[in-house]
């Protein structure tokens, strides 16, 4: 062990494929994918909802983040469950994540009406006659304002 660096001396010899002796490199990769599942879920929601995602986020912030996290965990979980029986490596898992992200975006697009309900813009209350006369006088259109006969 003479001449070995500090990094090589910290990892025990009996676990050559582990990260710090605790997790295998594949398990650490899966853990990193699950840590980024919120980003994959938001990406699927952006693909499905398009430009309406900020509108949904502004109205129901925590619900949107919850849906994105659930969608992301489903994407990551499905890609791992699909890759594990076939013995596919991490590169194929990443490709499956991309494919499932597009698939989830298509599913979200189908249910867009349930996520975002169209709302009519709020109109200001109608102006009264007194306010209309005041506005016309202010703009110099006194000739249009007729005095009301009582």
The pLDDT of residue 96: 94
Which tens digits make up the pLDDT trace of 62-87? 888 898 899 999 999 999 999 988 88
The pLDDT of residue 32: 86
Which tens digits make up the pLDDT trace of 89-122? 889 999 999 999 999 999 988 887 776 766 667 7
Structure tokens given for 75: 């994407």
Cα–Cα distance, 66 to 71 (Å, whole number): 8
pTM of model > 0.75: no
Q: What single string gives the DSSP state of each residue in 51-90? A: GGHHHHHHH-HHHHHHHHHHHHHHHHHHHHHHHHHHT--H
Which tens digits make up the pLDDT trace of 27-64? 888 888 888 888 998 889 888 888 777 777 777 888 88
CA 128, distance to chain mean position in Å, is 45
pLDDT tier at 145, thresholds 50, 70, 90: low
Q: Is 111 exposed, middle or buried (0-12, 13-18, 19+ CB in 10 A)?
A: exposed
The answer to whether the beta carbons of residues 42 and 68 sit under 8 Å apart is yes
Domain ranges of the chain: 20-118
The answer to whether the beta carbons of residues 85 and 55 sit under 8 Å apart is no
């Amino acid at each position: 062990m003479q001449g070995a660096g500090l990094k090589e001396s910290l990892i025990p010899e009996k676990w050559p494929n582990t990260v710090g002796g605790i997790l295998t490199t594949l398990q650490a990769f899966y853990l990193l994918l699950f840590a980024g599942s919120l980003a994959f879920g938001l990406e699927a929601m952006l693909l499905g909802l398009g430009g309406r995602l900020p509108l949904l986020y502004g109205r129901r912030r925590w619900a949107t983040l919850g849906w994105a996290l659930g969608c992301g965990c489903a994407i990551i979980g499905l890609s791992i469950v699909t890759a594990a029986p076939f013995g596919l490596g991490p590169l194929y898992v990443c490709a499956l994540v991309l494919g499932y992200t597009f698939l989830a975006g298509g599913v979200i697009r189908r249910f867009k009406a349930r996520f975002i309900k169209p709302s009519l813009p709020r109109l200001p209350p109608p102006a009264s006659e007194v306010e209309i006369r005041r506005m016309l006088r202010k703009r110099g259109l006194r000739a249009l304002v007729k005095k009301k006969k009582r």
